[in-house]
Amino acid sequence: MRVVTFPVDRANRLMIEDKGYFVFKRQNETLCVPTECPHRGGPMHLAKVSDCGEHLVCPWHDNSFSCQSIRRKALPLVQRKGTIKVVAKAQNTIAFWNEDGIVSSL
Amino acid sequence: MFSSLEFKENLDRFLSSPLLGNRRDFLSNGCPYTRPCRPQDLQAELFTKALTEQELDRNSYLAAQRMLNVIYEKDLVLLPTGKQKKLDINAYQSFYSSDHYRSGEVIREDLERHCFDFLNHEIQISGKWDIESFTAYCQQELDDIAQSESSLLKNLTASADPESATRFFLIQCAGDFLSEASAMGRNVLGNFGSHTSELFKVFIDEYGYGVHEKKHSTIFEHMMTDAELDNRLHTYWQFYTASSLSLINYFHYISKNHQYFFRYLGALYFTEASLAFTTKSQSKLVKQVFGGRVKTKYFDEHTHIDVHHGRMALEKIIMPVVKEYGEGILPEILRGFQEFAHLQELADEDLYRHIRTHDTLAELQEMASRYQAQEGAEVAEFVESEGELSVTHCHDVNEHFSVVSGEIDLVFSPHKRVKLKAGQAIVIPKGILHGSCVVSKQCTYRVTEYRGELCAS
């Protein structure tokens, strides 16, 4: 178990061992969720938000996933004072960085 | 949703109690019921919205925290203690009257929103938590506290007047410690299985397991006496900062509203586990500043017993409760842990800001003497008679305060006051607690917003 700490404005992508995550902000909620689409591994961090605002649509095959189901896969996260802390079940490599244009429904 | 008419009517009724009205002195004389709140400043509209964290230096925050404390403490049995145990029967009956209780209960929810809603925005918790990730997270937070340098020790020993600064710190603790663990009592009633008894074990330690000399509040009373402070509850009511009141009130807020019981468990865990570390530096501070004249048993007792209480809160209460009721309650427990940590940090920062202001009163006078208000700036002029006292409050903006004639004492703490004569002035930084008392036959003074640079706080 590791607590990964990073500033809100310095990172929205994480790699924990060999698994990718992105920081998804919607309304008054910040989630850290897997980038990999459960269908064929598409890049969910590049998804579009559905018109109703309650689903993410994968750019590869247009599969739609409810925010409710996405929330269930989110890593344990606390955001406070401009810092995000994520608890990862990993001892090894953890990297985080900022990437432009990822999905958000702020 | 804010129900304006009902709120307004009940706020006015609540504030009409003489116990909350203006006083002729800054210290309450052993009467736990007199709680001046400056009703003349408090219109219902001030409380219509939830404050943001950036707005916590407003006077409405102080006023709302004061009123909430009165409302919550109506559920406690308070009688005068100490040397003079004279009971003012009228004040007693008035404090506990059903009419006053009822109006307080009507306005409570809106005041709670005004004061505590910002925490929902400042702290976000998401994701799937299990007991393993919860304990890893909390342990990391507690390790950070254990390993960090004590900002309290650093700031207070660096003060120009460490004794006065430390007394001001003890006064901020007094509102809580002199009736310690009272809010906790709200959670040991009822029946939530064997966990009730586990919580009760922590509770009885706080209450000295029935031996009055061991009761934590009694130990703190001795410490107050050693530090040449009055040890009766709420003698220093007017000198509690809003952020200090927030720490007492938060525990009442999450304990009176049992929908927040799981938050309470998290807040309990944080406070017990972190006090095991922070009381070490508090003890060191008192020893260093008072040179052994003040016994530190209160803090030393917590350094010892809170190691157990932190462990008990986690292993004997939280973990079994989660096992029984499911991991779905973990985000709420974590919210309580984190919310209290957040309020504690804000209270620490606010304390240091007050101490810095107390240390720079001469500079604030110097700054004021050089200041020229802009043409057309709004200026209010007041004429007051000898002995007229302005109950402590704070301002939403930096204020330029100047005396036209007569003399007035500006009071920043029981140990920090500035006498201003005709032609003298001072800048009062926004959010800084202060009151005043006219000391000449009559005094005329002016106040206007100070728009100059402020380096003191």
Per-residue confidence band for B364, with pLDDT thresholds at 50, 70 and 90:
very high
Contact A77 B125 (CB under 8 A): yes
Whether residue B245 is predicted with pLDDT greater than 90 in this model: the reply is yes
Out of A1, A72, A74, name the one closest to residue B132 (CB): A1
Contact A76 B129 (CB under 8 A): yes
pLDDT tens figures, B68-85: 999 999 999 999 998 767
Chain centroid offset of residue B92 CA: 23
Angle (deg, nearest 10), helices B297-311 and B261-290: 150
Strands (E) located in A27-82 = 29-34, 48-49, 55-57, 64-66, 77-80
Contact predicate B114/B51, CB 8 Å: yes
Contact A80 B342 (CB under 8 A): yes
Angle (deg, nearest 10), helices B131-147 and B330-359: 20
What CATH code would you report for B374-449? Answer: 2.60.120.10
Residue B144 contacts A, CB cutoff 8 Å: no
pLDDT tens figures, A58-93: 999 999 999 999 999 999 999 999 999 999 988 777
Q: Compute the average pLDDT of residues B208-224.
A: 95
Per-residue confidence band for B44, with pLDDT thresholds at 50, 70 and 90:
very high
- Closest CA of chain B from A2, distance in Å: 7
Residue B140 contacts A, CB cutoff 8 Å: yes
Task: State the pLDDT at residue B2.
Answer: 52
With H, G, I as helix, E, B as strand and everything else as coil, classify residue A51. coil
Task: State the pLDDT at residue B398.
Answer: 97
**A21-30, B19-28, B32-41, B410-419: range with lowest mean pLDDT:** A21-30
Contact predicate B360/B162, CB 8 Å: no
Contact predicate B222/B178, CB 8 Å: no
Nearest to B168 by CA among B346, B296, B402, B351: B351
With H, G, I as helix, E, B as strand and everything else as coil, classify residue B419. strand
Cα–Cα distance measured from residue A22 to residue B115, given in angstroms and rounded to the nearest whole number: 33
H or E segment to which residue B400 belongs:
strand B399-405
Which one of A73, A80, A86 would you mutate to disrupt binding with B, by most B Cβ within 10 Å of its Cβ? A80
Main-chain dihedrals φ then ψ at residue B236, nearest 5 degrees: -100, 25
Contact B140 A3 (CB under 8 A): yes
Per-residue confidence band for A105, with pLDDT thresholds at 50, 70 and 90:
low
Main-chain dihedrals φ then ψ at residue B263, nearest 5 degrees: -60, -40
Contact predicate B284/B153, CB 8 Å: yes
Q: Compute the average pLDDT of residues B98-106.
A: 98
What is the rounded (10 degree) CA torsion for B209, B211, B214, B220?
110
- A70: chain B residues, CB-CB within 8 Å: none
Residue B54 contacts A, CB cutoff 8 Å: no
What are the structure tokens assigned to B112, written together? Answer: 């709670």
- B145: chain A residues, CB-CB within 8 Å: none
Task: State the pLDDT at residue B133.
Answer: 97
Residue B121 contacts A, CB cutoff 8 Å: yes
What are the structure tokens assigned to A29, written together? Answer: 């909620």
User: Does B374-449 match B123-359 at the fold level?
Assistant: no
pLDDT tens figures, B132-167: 999 999 999 999 999 999 999 999 999 999 999 999
Nearest to B384 by CA among B447, B444, B448: B444
Average pLDDT, whole number, for chain B?
Answer: 95
Q: What is the CA radius of gyration of chain B?
A: 22
- B144: chain A residues, CB-CB within 8 Å: none
The domain at A2-97 falls in which architecture? 3-layer Sandwich (2.102)
The domain at B123-359 falls in which architecture? Up-down Bundle (1.20)
Which ipTM did the prediction report? 0.88
Out of A80, A86, A87, name the one closest to residue B123 (CB): A80
- Please spell the DSSP secondary structure of B209-259, one letter per residue: GG-GGGSHHHHHHHHHHHTT---STTTTGGG--HHHHHHHHHHHHHHHSGG
Main-chain dihedrals φ then ψ at residue A93, nearest 5 degrees: -55, 130
Question: How is chain B split into domains, by residue range?
Answer: 4-116, 123-359, 374-449
Residue B52 contacts A, CB cutoff 8 Å: no
Out of B127, B136, B137, name the one closest to residue A32 (CB): B127
- Closest CA of chain A from B107, distance in Å: 27
Contact B128 A3 (CB under 8 A): no
